């Protein structure tokens, strides 16, 4: 493994759906510990890019590397094992199960003990301990024994983040983690995200510019399947091209919605 390589490196990534080119030679590089946002108008290709990185979709061309290792040919499960985890726009929880059970399943899966109901009690206890530790780190310890369906939606979104942490990712892709969450809870989600382990490279897809500007150290702007520009939040907010793309779409980055 190459220690100087980017944690995640996407190069020349292309994908089309029929006549529609949704990824036009995308180049993206995330260093270890990145706090990066991917923004762009509806239909720009953000979710498609995440699906290409996680292996849900196959690219027509291009490579995806994780710390120098080419993972382009791996299926989604193998990429998770390699260290690429994601959350989804719509939540994917086992709503009837307790919070801690949801997290314990991903911990057990990572440890290679998923589906083994007869694993030794000590191993089960270790899995539960680890799940509890993750929940405590996200401020969810008090909710551990609550069935997910009884939690407010904002906290359910955090349980999804907890599940991904159970996989011990090196790269974490967060697809609109605050979507559909009331503003007050969205702030809580942000606070929790800001405390995620420093070594994980995080790419967040987000429409809410307040979330983007608070969280991200760098922002990549995707338009029509291509990268328009990339820079610090200040650079992006001041970029006339970015502002032009967003005018009429929603408030320009860094401005208050009217």
Ligand X SMILES: Nc1ncnc2c1ncn2[C@@H]1O[C@H](COP(=O)(O)OP(=O)(O)OP(=O)(O)O)[C@@H](O)[C@H]1O
DSSP track, 29-54: EE-TT-EEEEE-STTSSHHHHHHHHH
Give the residue with the Cβ less far from ligand X, 17 or 118: 17
DSSP three-state, residue 184: helix
By CB under 6 A, the count of residues binding ligand X is: 11
- Smallest separation (angstroms) from ligand X to the CB of 70: 23
- Tell how far CA 54 is from the center of its chain: 10
DSSP track, 102-141: HHHHHHHHHTT-TT-TTS-HHHHHHHHHHHHHHHHHTT-G
- Smallest separation (angstroms) from ligand X to the CB of 205: 7
Q: Does 42 bind ligand X (CB under 6 A)?
A: yes
- Smallest separation (angstroms) from ligand X to the CB of 142: 33
For ligand X, what does the binding mask look like between residues 6 and 25, x meaning CB under 6 A?
-----------x--x-x---
Give the residue with the Cβ less far from ligand X, 2 or 42: 42
- Smallest separation (angstroms) from ligand X to the CB of 119: 38
CA–CA separation, 86 and 53 (whole Å): 10
Asked if residue 149 lies in contact with residue 99, where contact means CB atoms within 8 angstroms, the answer is no
Q: Which residues bind ligand X (CB under 6 A)?
A: 17, 20, 22, 40, 42-48
């Amino acid at each position: 493994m190459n220690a100087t390589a980017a944690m995640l490196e996407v190069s020349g990534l292309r994908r089309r759906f029929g006549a529609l080119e949704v990824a036009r030679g995308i180049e993206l590089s995330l260093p270890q510990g990145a706090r990066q946002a991917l923004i762009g108008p509806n239909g720009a290709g953000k979710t498609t890019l995440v699906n290409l990185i996680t292996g849900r979709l196959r690219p027509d061309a291009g490579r995806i590397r994780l710390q120098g290792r080419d993972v382009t040919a791996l299926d989604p499960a193998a990429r998770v094992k390699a260290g690429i985890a994601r959350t989804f726009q719509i939540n994917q929880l086992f709503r009837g199960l307790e919070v801690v059970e949801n997290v314990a399943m991903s911990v057990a899966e990572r440890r290679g003990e998923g589906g083994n109901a007869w694993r030794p009690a000590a191993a089960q206890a270790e899995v539960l301990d680890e799940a509890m530790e993750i929940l405590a780190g996200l401020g969810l310890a008090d909710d551990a024994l609550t069935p997910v369906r009884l939690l407010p939606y904002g906290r359910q979104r955090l349980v999804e983040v907890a599940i991904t942490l159970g996989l011990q990712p090196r790269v974490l892709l967060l697809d609109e983690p605050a979507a559909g969450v009331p503003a007050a809870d969205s702030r809580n989600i942000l606070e929790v995200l800001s405390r995620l382990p420093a070594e994980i490279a995080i790419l967040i897809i987000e429409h809410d510019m307040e979330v983007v500007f608070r969280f991200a150290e760098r922002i990549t702007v995707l338009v029509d399947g291509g990268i328009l520009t990339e820079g610090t939040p200040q650079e992006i907010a001041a970029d006339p091209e970015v502002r032009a793309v967003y005018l009429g779409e929603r408030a320009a980055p860094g401005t208050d919605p009217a």
